[in-house]
Amino acid sequence: MITGIWKIFRMFRGSFAGGDTPRQIGFGVAMGMLIGIVPKDSLFTYVFGVLLLMSTANLLSALVSGFVFTWMGFLLDPLSHALGKVVLTNANWQATWCALYEMPIVPWTKFNNTVVTGSLLIGLALFIPVYWGATKTFKTYGPRINSKLGQYSTYRWLAGREHFNQPAEPAMNKTLTQTEVV
């Protein structure tokens, strides 16, 4: 019984660390960026959160990315507002926006807000570049970063590698192997 519970706990803890291939980490960073950049009073944020949970993305990287991009989102407000306004006030799109707004649930996304739509568009536009950049980065610098972070017991505990003597190298090697398999 206790062993079973411990296994479930290990699985839960592992899920927080998530998949640790560079792609999963990159996906986590991109999703975190999308969640962070969009204002939190929009339903978009929660939809993306659920999608994130349903994916095999690395939650830790998503959490860190979300935190960082939340603050960046405030800095991007003028740009988001300008972009959102251009899109939302476009005469050709008014009928579409009206139809969307009349649909149930949709108004909860606050898409009629210039910053929400603007930041969503910016987030979506940046999604692929961020995913690609993060994946590349973690492919290149991942082992080194893992090795550095592995010196901290919190990271090791979060990553479920407290029993490893050399946490960084084997984990990354294993990850690379798994990625190749997938």
Site string for another protein, 137-166 (x = CB under 8 A): ------------------------------
Q: What are phi and psi of 105, to 5 degrees?
A: 70, -40
Tokens of residue 107, six digits = 């108004």
Give residues with Cβ within 8 angstroms of 178, minimum separation 6: 21
Place of tokens 């606050």: 110
| Distance separating alpha carbons of residues 163 and 171, to the nearest angstrom | 12
| Distance separating alpha carbons of residues 102 and 167, to the nearest angstrom | 53
Tokens of residue 43, six digits = 């339903």
| Distance separating alpha carbons of residues 6 and 9, to the nearest angstrom | 5
Least Å distance, CB 176 to another protein, is: 17
Least Å distance, CB 28 to another protein, is: 13
Nearer to another protein by Cβ, of 82 and 128: the residue is 82
Q: Is residue 1 involved in binding another protein (CB under 8 A)?
A: no
Least Å distance, CB 43 to another protein, is: 9
Q: Is residue 167 involved in binding another protein (CB under 8 A)?
A: no
Within residues 71-110, the interface with another protein by CB under 8 A covers: 77, 80-81, 84-85, 88-89, 91, 94-95, 97-98, 101-102, 104-105, 107-108, 110
Place of tokens 């910053």: 115
Q: Is residue 121 involved in binding another protein (CB under 8 A)?
A: no
Within residues 7-66, the interface with another protein by CB under 8 A covers: 8, 11-12, 14-16, 18-19, 39, 41, 50, 53-54, 56
Asked if residue 52 lies in contact with residue 35, where contact means CB atoms within 8 angstroms, the answer is: yes
CA dihedral 95, 101, 106, 109 (to 10 degrees): 100
Q: Which residues form the interface with another protein (CB under 8 A)?
A: 8, 11-12, 14-16, 18-19, 39, 41, 50, 53-54, 56, 77, 80-81, 84-85, 88-89, 91, 94-95, 97-98, 101-102, 104-105, 107-108, 110, 112-116, 118
